[in-house]
Amino acid sequence: MIPTLIVSAFEQTAFTMEAGAFEDLKTRLWTFMKSDIYPNEELFRRQNHEMASHTEWIHSPILMELQQKAKSLKLWNMFLPVDSAIAAGEQGALGGGLTNRQYAEICEILGTSTPTEFASEVTNCTSPDTGNMEVLARYGTPAQRAQWLVPLLQGKIRSCYAMTEPQVASSDATNISINIARDEARQEYVINGRKWWITGAASLHCKIMILMGRTDSSSDGPIYQSQSQILVPMDTPGITLLRPMDTFGDDDSPKGHMEILFEDVRVSFANVLLGEGRGFEISQGRLGPGRIHVSLLLAFQSNLVSKYDDKHCMRAIGQAERALSLTCQRVQERKAFGKKFSQLDTVLQDISNCRVEIEMCRMLVHRAAVLMDERGNKDIETRQLLSLVKAHVPRTVQTIADRCIQIHGGMGVSQDTPLALIFLGARVLRIADGPDEVHMRTAAKLELQRQKSSPLRDIGYYKPDRTKIFRKSDEPVSPETQLKLDAFSKL
Ligand SMILES: Cc1cc2nc3c(=O)[nH]c(=O)nc-3n(C[C@H](O)[C@H](O)[C@H](O)COP(=O)(O)OP(=O)(O)OC[C@H]3O[C@@H](n4cnc5c(N)ncnc54)[C@H](O)[C@@H]3O)c2cc1C
């Protein structure tokens, strides 16, 4: 069983930010976004692209400069939720002390930057590190936490998470097949196989990987105890970074998404997280109150292990707000066929559709965050809402971005607006965090379970009255109807 976190009211209070301080935090964050993030977006992208031409990928200079500033302004580690912070013991004090509900608001503000993760990277709130840090906080031993969690929280190193494999459908985590064998003599695991799409692995700042793989290859063992999660230092011999995978033609340097070959990669037995065969348990916990930063690390629901936590959905809402804001300015400036765009009915329909969709997404996200805070991740309604949010928010934001692009005309697909990036980001998210269909499948299965205790369940259908007969085949018709039938047959 996953260790249960018993959190006393005293501990909660000690790690939680009170309302006034939270309002102050939001104000300071908005100020920082305006003074340092938005004005540097183009520079950040340019410096990142310059990195693509060689193989020694490191943070861009502007990222490092802004990280220093964010840290000094205490706009740092806001992601680490109260419960994970408590689990991490004294190291939890390095977290921001926010509830999931509070972090939902922070994430939306961070998400108004483009590229989506720019502000999150600057403030040490970016995937896959956030999810990895939560796993270490909740399941790491004191030694594992000291070695990896502390430098991650300090922003001195980065991490990656390796689950997806080219040869199997990885949206079903039970398919994961990379082999992790035991060498009893040397007390080491030996890893052989291949992974791909491993975000962050190519950065030279990335020092640690959490790898999900098969420690029990027998075909008759319990399927949900066949996988383990293991800490693999990135400088372990036998790891070959083969190539960065492109998303829509971009290699996303210097973070990137790598295809990786593992050839006799050896790590100590002590590197296993939580215990051998408990990989799925970690995934289940990773969805936990650590994260309705609603949509990305390791949501485990039936057969799904998503790689991220829920932060992406929150950020996606920020992206939609940015797109709508640009669009509302544009329609008041341009004219066609004698009218301002803002007077064209279809444009007005598009704008109000965007607004209602953003509001609905936000309500879903906030509701899920509250459920995470109040009931935890094992609650059935929480789990269902998380799945729905993960499927619904990215595709809705994609539709919103699409509308905004259309209203901008040619400019909408150009480099002069962030709209194309927003559109592509939402599109990629619909796969990167586990495909839409898998989240919807999970939500539907949970719905079938929830319906079993619905107060509406036993109401049933209306009872048909089968005592009365409409008419029989050999029943004579009335003379008037017969006349009409005869007239019709003469036509
Ligand atoms: C930008 C990016 C970053 C990523 N980063 C990471 C990372 O850091 N670490 C990592 O391990 N992985 C990462 N991934 C991989 C990502 O998580 C997987 O691509 C995703 O889980 C889908 O797995 P798959 O590619 O094997 O597709 P498959 O499992 O082969 O699925 C293909 C398609 O089949 C359909 N499908 C699957 N199941 C169902 C179902 N039950 N019902 C209906 N249709 C279904 C869906 O349409 C799905 O898109 C990343 C991917 C991208 C694009």
Distance (Å) from CA 432 to ligand 1 centroid: 6
In a domain, 54, yes or no: no
> For residue 404, what are the domain limits?
311-451
What is the 381 CA–ligand 1 centroid distance (Å)? 24
φ, ψ (nearest 5 deg) of residue 242: -80, -50
Any ligand 1 atom below 6 A from CB of 439: no
Kindly state whether residue 107 falls inside one of the protein's structural domains.
Answer: no
171 C-alpha to center of ligand 1: Å? Answer: 5
Residues 467-473: what's their mean pLDDT? 94
Among 148-152, 215-219, 226-230, name the one with the lowest average pLDDT. Answer: 215-219
Distance 452 CA to ligand 1 centre (A): 31
| pLDDT at residue 411 is higher than 60 | yes
Nearest atom in ligand 1 to 162's CA: 11
Could you tell me if the CB of 428 is within 6 A of ligand 1? yes
Contacts of 111 (CB under 8 A, 6+ apart): 119, 120, 314, 315, 316, 317, 318, 319
Q: Please identify, by atom number, the ligand 1 atom nearest to the C-alpha of residue 252.
A: 1
Do the domain assignments include residue 164?
no
Least confident of 92-101, 134-143, 175-184, 359-368: 92-101
Q: Is residue 39 part of a domain?
A: no
Q: How many domains does the chain have?
A: 1
Residue 261 counted as domain residue: no
Residue 170 CB–ligand 1 contact under 6 Å: yes
Looking at the CA of residue 128, tell me the nearest atom of ligand 1.
8
**pLDDT for 233-283, tens place per residue?**
999 999 999 999 999 999 999 999 999 999 999 999 999 999 999 999 998
Our mutation pick for probing the ligand 1 site, out of 132, 159, 164, 248, counting the most ligand atoms within 8 A of Cβ, is 164
The closest-lying atom of ligand 1 relative to the alpha carbon of residue 200 is 8
Whether 480 is covered by a domain: the verdict is: no
CATH of the domain at 421: 1.20.140.10
Is the residue at 342 inside a domain? Answer: yes
Cα angle 314, 129, 298 (rounded to 5 degrees) comes to: 65
Q: Please tell me the chain's helix, strand, coil percentages from 3-state DSSP, rounded to the nearest 5.
A: 50, 15, 35
Question: Are 118 and 37 in contact, with CB atoms under 8 Å apart?
Answer: yes
- At 307, the pLDDT band (50, 70, 90 cuts) reads very low
- Dmax over CA atoms of the chain, in Å, equals 101
Query: What's the rounded Cα separation, in Å, for the pair 232 and 238?
Result: 11
Domain membership of residue 326 (yes or no) is yes
Reported pTM: 0.90
